[in-house]
């Protein structure tokens, strides 16, 4: 059993007076069912339905909440206990009637705790005109982040050091080595659990290939015809090898048209397997997304991605993740870590671009914090080579910038090529889940009006 940070969110949800049915969203195999089963230990009565089973799906063909619940309790040979009964409806995407029924559980049986989850749930929700908007709450579940990985591996002291702000100097190299192992193994719960028990790196490739194929088979179910299936197969097979910003037309050295590839990528985005990340040109809130510019791809899990590309050998005994796959692995992993800390909505990590004649700039990540957009560059070079970050700092109205790299934590004054003074926080790349804590400390400690500590 791998303890998840999301368990604390479920415990808080249980205590809410205005509690609504909860839908757990996320890709297949990120641990939704396991999380609910662990949470169920807090209840005296637990009922789990899987709507892939015909007999359990048919329960929702009855009319009225009372009849449905009586049939559920009868089928499970149990009785409800007021305020102590958890009903979990798994694979709810298989029954539009069950999805619609969620609102009536809230109205007709408010003492019942109801959680729903499902694979490819986004496809089902988009097709239900009477979906109970405002009558349900959401929790987005991600693959394991580095915090959860350390916990799964039994590295409790390392986890304590990771959460110290600032991170102790003596912990730097050890945490970096653990993070390199995390980059290799990934964050898919079942595979991490297997590795924690058996320490078998060779088994990862086979398990990830099976998982990648399962994702492909899932999404194909929603293709309208054989042509769409072929395009989805091509896109999911070639997407891992795209180095940076993509073009839809001719994607993966194909003859497919822009519209065809776009539909396939949007299907994979709905499945939460591959995310389309579009850039912004904003230097202050709100972030305005420019959908006319070329996007990047963000994969569900870096471990899944590096296995698809066959990069395991490069990740073993690596000293700096920025040296692997032209820095894309660590850039991708930092974005994944940041997104994993957002569980209330579907989070994306945008990047910044400046495209003018004879001058292109691109900052890896933009981190919104209070009234600021903080630029985050992921690279090993010295601060004098951060040209795109300099372009951003010349245009924004604050002096805070972040460089994520393999080195130790430090904050130093810097100056752009054009002469703008700013502060550069150098953050070890294993601290992605802690970024908000560090940015808060950074902004509070250093004045926005003059270069120097308060």
| Cα gap 328→332, rounded to integer Å | 6
Chain centroid offset of residue 350 CA: 13
| CA R_g for the chain | 23
Chain centroid offset of residue 183 CA: 15
Which H/E stretch holds residue 404?
strand 400-405
pLDDT value at residue 384: 53
| Cα gap 288→279, rounded to integer Å | 9
Q: Are the C-beta atoms of residues 121 and 51 closer than 8 Å to each other?
A: no
The pairing of beta strand 372-378 with beta strand 365-369? antiparallel
Q: Are the C-beta atoms of residues 407 and 428 closer than 8 Å to each other?
A: yes
Residue for token pair 């490819």: 120
Residue 88 forms beta bridges with which residues? 48, 115
| Angstrom distances, CA of residue 32 to CA of 1, 196, 217, 232 | 13, 20, 20, 25
Instruction: Please choose, from the candidates 294, 296, 328, the residue with its C-alpha nearest in 3D space to the C-alpha of residue 311.
Output: 328
CB-count exposure of residue 259 (10 Å: 0-12, 13-18, 19+): exposed
Q: Are the C-beta atoms of residues 186 and 329 closer than 8 Å to each other?
A: no
Q: Are the C-beta atoms of residues 222 and 196 closer than 8 Å to each other?
A: no
Neighbours of 412 (CB within 10 A): 10
Q: Are the C-beta atoms of residues 121 and 25 closer than 8 Å to each other?
A: yes
Instruction: For the chain, list residues with pLDDT below 50.
Output: 453-454
| Angstrom distances, CA of residue 313 to CA of 58, 110, 211, 238, 307 | 49, 53, 20, 20, 10
What the block records as the tokens of 141 is: 């579940």
Residues 6+ apart with CB under 8 A from 292: none
Instruction: Please choose, from the candidates 12, 57, 2, the residue with its C-alpha nearest in 3D space to the C-alpha of residue 35.
Output: 2
Instruction: Please choose, from the candidates 418, 388, 413, 382, the residue with its C-alpha nearest in 3D space to the C-alpha of residue 399.
Output: 413
Looking at 260-379, which runs of residues are DSSP E strands? 274-277, 296-299, 352-356, 359-363, 365-369, 372-378
| Domain range list for the chain | 6-140, 146-340, 352-445
pLDDT value at residue 214: 86
pLDDT value at residue 298: 94
What the block records as the tokens of 35 is: 């999380």
pLDDT value at residue 139: 95
| Cα gap 449→454, rounded to integer Å | 10
pLDDT value at residue 454: 39
| Cα gap 205→231, rounded to integer Å | 24
pLDDT value at residue 313: 74
pLDDT value at residue 142: 95
Superfamily of segment(s) 6-140: P-loop containing nucleotide triphosphate hydrolases (3.40.50.300)
Which H/E stretch holds residue 209?
helix 202-220
SS3 414: strand
pLDDT value at residue 450: 58
């Amino acid at each position: 059993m791998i303890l998840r940070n999301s368990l604390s969110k479920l415990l808080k949800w249980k205590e809410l007076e205005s509690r609504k049915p909860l839908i757990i969203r996320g890709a297949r195999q990120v641990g939704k069912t396991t999380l609910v089963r662990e949470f169920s230990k807090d209840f005296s009565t637990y009922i789990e339905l899987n709507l892939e089973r015909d007999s359990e799906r048919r329960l929702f063909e009855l009319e009225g909440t009372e009849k449905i619940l009586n049939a559920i309790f009868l089928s499970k040979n149990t009785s409800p206990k007021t305020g102590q009964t958890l009903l979990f409806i798994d694979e709810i995407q298989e029954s539009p009637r069950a999805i619609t029924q969620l609102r009536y559980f809230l109205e007709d049986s408010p003492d019942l705790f109801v959680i729903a989850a499902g694979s490819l749930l986004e496809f089902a929700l988009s097709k239900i005109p009477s979906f109970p908007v405002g009558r349900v709450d959401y929790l987005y579940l991600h693959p394991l982040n580095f915090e959860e990985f350390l916990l799964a591996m039994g590295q409790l002291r390392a986890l304590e050091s990771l959460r110290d702000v600032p991170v102790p100097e003596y912990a730097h190299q050890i945490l970096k080595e653990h993070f390199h192992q995390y980059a290799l193994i990934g964050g898919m719960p079942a595979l991490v659990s297997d590795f924690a028990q058996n320490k078998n790196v060779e088994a990862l490739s086979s398990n990830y290939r099976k998982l990648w194929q399962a994702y492909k088979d899932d999404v194909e179910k929603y293709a309208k015809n054989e042509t769409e299936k072929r395009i989805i197969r091509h896109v999911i097979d070639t997407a891992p090898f795209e180095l940076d910003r993509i073009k839809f037309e001719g994607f993966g050295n194909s003859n497919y048209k822009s519209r065809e590839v776009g539909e396939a990528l949007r299907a994979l985005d709905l499945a939460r397997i591959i995310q389309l990340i579009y850039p912004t040109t904003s230097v202050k809130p709100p972030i305005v997304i420019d959908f006319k510019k070329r996007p990047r791809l963000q994969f569900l899990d870096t471990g899944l991605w590096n296995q698809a590309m066959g990069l395991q050998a490069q990740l073993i005994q690596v000293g700096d993740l920025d040296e692997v796959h032209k820095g894309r692995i660590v850039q991708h992993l930092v974005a994944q870590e940041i997104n994993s800390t957002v569980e209330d909505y579907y989070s994306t990590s945008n990047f910044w671009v400046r495209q003018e004649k004879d001058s292109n700039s691109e900052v890896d990540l933009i981190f919104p914090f209070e009234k600021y957009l903080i630029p985050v560059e992921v690279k090993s070079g010295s601060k004098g080579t951060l040209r795109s970050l300099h372009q951003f700092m010349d245009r924004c109205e604050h002096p805070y910038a972040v460089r994520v790299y393999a080195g130790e934590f430090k904050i130093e004054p810097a100056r752009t090529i054009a002469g703008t003074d700013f502060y550069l926080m150098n953050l070890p790349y294993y601290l992605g889940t802690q970024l908000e804590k560090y940015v808060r400390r950074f902004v509070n400690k250093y004045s926005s009006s003059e270069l120097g500590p308060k």
